[in-house]
Amino acid sequence: MSLDNNILKLISKYLRREETGEDRRALYQWYDELSEGKSIEKKSIARSYRRNRERLAAEIGGMSVRQATVRPLWYRVAAVAMVIIVGYFTIKYFRGSEKMVPVQLAELEKIVPVSNKVIITLSTGKTVDPDTLSAGKSVTIGNAIVQKDSTGHLLYKADMQKSAENVMSTVQTPKGTQYSIELSDGTKVFLNAKSRLSFPGQFGTGDRVVQLSGEAYFEVTKTLKHSKFIVKTDKQSIQVLGTKFNVKAYADAPLVKTTLAEGSVRITPKNKAIKPLIIKPDQQAILSDSDIASEEIDAQQVIAWKDGFFVFDGSNTEEVIREIGQWYGIEVDYKLGNKPVKYAGKIPKNISMARLVKLLSYADINVQAFKDKNDQLKLIVN
């Protein structure tokens, strides 16, 4: 009998004592077949069982293997189930390829979100390191004065006394880093990890246009001239006057998501075959290559990332798991496919990987950590 996903699911339910009578009968049949010596996943699992059963029996009942055999069937199946799970994943990701080595929980305690420098690249080709700016100090970039406040927030202000070139700035955040900027018109922008925003040092008399790749939350300021504020991404443009909204437009993601917290926005896809869409507060527009649609959503849940949380809404598990990989700078192999994981809640972004794995396990999301031959960490989610 092969150790397929159904058996793994039964084992998981059984160990949590959530199985039905039918589940129990199927699992006992599997156990009987195992007892008769039938192969589950190559002969190596049998060796894994023999190698670990003494230790496991002692952990479960503080007994020897001989003593454990007189315990109720539940204890024996539970012991075998845990050994099989360990053996299965070890063989699948370690023995099968000889490239993946399991990582212990203690080692995961040392893994915290990566933190790298934010870099500002100017249209002149020069770069500026915001870390070199002390709070209250300023630097002139073209016709703009740039300074950092006491919270690390970057402020752009128009230098009205200079007629210098209007230099474009591109702020780029690496993995594990968020950053906040106030543009020269007073608009506040919060950049999520692995994102890029391009904007002028000061806006002219026409539309205020910025370019985004990645994710950002905008609090747009209305101007006396009521000029439009436009956010452009690779696949769409968003037009507003004064509003609060979130845009998620990563280059490697198939969908662009625009979520409105306040005001009104008009979304115009670059694909002319797709009609523009106007959304209202607590609505999210979802743009694909061929269509755009809106749905009702809790905008505050979506924008909670800027306050330091990963947010699960009950349907976005794979999306958030991949964000976690980006945040910690770790490759993720998501193997749940379309299996629904109905978990809704927030997880802090500043915790260790070990703590994160434990929290995910409470939601029945199993995370296995491995290192490849190059000592690079990888998470298997199943």
Label residue 100 by pLDDT band (50, 70, 90): low
Domain boundary among 275, 307, 339: 307
Do 345 and 365 reside in the same domain of the chain? yes
Q: Residue 67 falls within a domain, yes or no?
A: no
Which of 34-43, 148-157, 243-252, 315-324 is most confident? 243-252
Cα–chain center distance at 365: 14
Do 333 and 364 reside in the same domain of the chain? yes
Domain boundary among 266, 291, 307: 307
Q: What range defines the domain where residue 222 resides?
A: 117-173+179-307
Do 289 and 369 reside in the same domain of the chain? no
Rounded average pLDDT over 114-134: 86
Report if pTM > 0.85.
no
Question: 3-state class of 93 per DSSP?
Answer: helix
Rounded average pLDDT over 7-14: 66
Question: Is residue 42 predicted with pLDDT exceeding 50?
Answer: no
Do 126 and 206 reside in the same domain of the chain? yes
Do 164 and 228 reside in the same domain of the chain? yes
Question: Is residue 262 predicted with pLDDT exceeding 60?
Answer: yes
**Residue-wise pLDDT tens digits, 282-334:** 999 999 999 999 999 999 989 999 999 988 776 678 888 888 888 888 888 88
Lowest mean pLDDT among 152-166, 205-219, 344-358: 152-166
Do 376 and 282 reside in the same domain of the chain? no
**Residue-wise pLDDT tens digits, 222-237:** 887 768 999 999 999 9
Q: What's the whole-number average pLDDT of the chain?
A: 79
Residue entry with tokens 């007994």: 63
Please calculate the CA angle 108-113-116 and round it to the nearest 5 degrees.
135
Which of 29-43, 259-273, 319-333 is most confident? 259-273
Segment 29-33 long-range contacts (CB within 8 Å, at least 24 positions apart): 30/1, 31/73, 31/76, 31/77, 31/80, 33/1
Label residue 185 by pLDDT band (50, 70, 90): very high
Rounded average pLDDT over 93-122: 71
Label residue 57 by pLDDT band (50, 70, 90): very low
Do 230 and 256 reside in the same domain of the chain? yes
Residue entry with tokens 């870390």: 131
Q: Smallest Cα–Cα separation from 233: which of 250, 219, 245, 218?
A: 250
DSSP 118: -
Amino acid in the structure at residue 317: T
Rounded average pLDDT over 6-29: 69
Question: What are the CA-CA distances from residue 96 to residues 81, 88, 100, 373 (Å)?
Answer: 20, 10, 9, 13
CATH of the domain at 224: 2.60.120.1440
Above pLDDT 90, what percent of the chain? 34
Do 369 and 247 reside in the same domain of the chain? no
Do 155 and 255 reside in the same domain of the chain? yes
Above pLDDT 70, what percent of the chain? 72
Rounded average pLDDT over 184-202: 94
Lowest mean pLDDT among 137-141, 199-203, 232-236: 137-141
Q: Residue 49 falls within a domain, yes or no?
A: no
pLDDT for 49 equals 45
How many structural domains is the chain composed of? 2
Do 315 and 277 reside in the same domain of the chain? no
Which tokens go with 70?
């007189």
pLDDT for 345 equals 80
pLDDT for 250 equals 93
Do 160 and 268 reside in the same domain of the chain? yes
Alpha helices by DSSP H, the chain:
5-15, 21-35, 42-61, 65-68, 73-90, 105-108, 299-302, 317-328, 353-362
Residues whose CB falls within 8 Å of the CB of residue 98, separated by 6 or more in sequence, listed in order: none
Domain boundary among 264, 280, 307: 307
Q: Residue 61 falls within a domain, yes or no?
A: no
Pairing of strands 377-381, 331-334: parallel
Residues 294, 369: Cα–Cα separation, whole Å: 37
Note whether 38 and 76 are within 8 A (CB).
no
